[in-house]
A = this chain, B = another copy of it.
Amino acid sequence: MAETGTQGGETLLFLTDEQLRKGIEAMFFAYRGFTADPDRILDQHGYGRAHHRAIHFINRQPGLTVTTLLAVLGVTKQSLNRVLRTLIEDGLVENRVGRRDKRERHLYLTPAGEALERELSGAQRERMRSAYRAAGPQAVAGFRQVLEAMIDPDMRRHYQMMKDGG
């Protein structure tokens, strides 16, 4: 009760424009670090960030349909198709006709696709792990809380779907 200018015992200084600006810039610079290692690897293989995203989510949810992947990635089918086509041609992704609904195509990583996925996610996890370790478990919990609150409501269901496995 010695504090002044507080509400519910918590100061609101973390909501100042200055604090928000710092968070915005941290987000900008951190995202660059976040993508830097995969970008290097992708470059060696002649792929780009768009290929990584497709590979990531196909690995995460093997057998998802093109429409689902489209919704998760939030791009047009023409844009995704360009990427998906090269991955299929190169033998990293497989395209199986749906059993129940034969219009659907279910996407799977081939062993080669899984190998690239491991290479990419390994590098990305390494940086993440190092940041987590440096910050500690409590900071990590806060990190996730804020990020999840930033996700667009329309996208949150996709995030949850992936997060909760399956």
For the complex, is A140 an interface residue (Cβ under 8 Å from B)? Answer: yes
Query: How many monomers of this chain does the complex have?
Result: 2
Rounded to whole Å, the gap between the CB of A121 and the closest CB of chain B is 7
Q: Chain B's nearest CB lies how many Å from the CB of A36?
A: 6
Asked whether A112 is an interface residue with its Cβ less than 8 Å from the other chain, the reply is: no
Which residues of the partner chain B approach A124 to less than 8 Å between Cβ atoms?
24
In the assembled complex, the CB of A126 is this many whole angstroms from the nearest CB of chain B, namely: 9
Alpha-carbon distance between A143 and B23 when the two chains are bound, in angstroms: 8
Residue A20 is within 8 A (CB to CB) of chain B in the complex: yes
Number of chain A residues close to chain B: CB under 8 A: 61
Please name all residues of chain B whose beta carbon is closer than 8 Å to the beta carbon of A77 when the two chains form the complex. Answer: none
> Is A139 part of the binding interface, using a Cβ–Cβ cutoff of 8 Å?
yes
Contact residues in B for A33 (Cβ distance below 8 Å): 150-152, 155
Interface hit among A10-18, A62-70, A82-90, A100-108: A10-18
Bits for A1-42, please: 1 = Cβ < 8 Å to B, else 0.
000000000110111010111111111111111101000000
Q: Which of these, B20, B121, B137, B148, contacts A10 with CB under 8 Å?
A: B137
Cβ of A128 within 8 Å of any chain B Cβ, yes or no, is yes
Q: Does B74 contact A32, Cβ atoms closer than 8 Å?
A: yes
Can you pick out 5 interface pairs between chain A and chain B where the beta carbons lie within 8 Å of each other? A22-B144, A24-B125, A27-B30, A142-B145, A143-B143
Interface residues of A (CB under 8 A from B): 10-11, 13-15, 17, 19-34, 36, 53, 60, 74, 121, 124-125, 127-152, 155-156, 158-159, 162-163
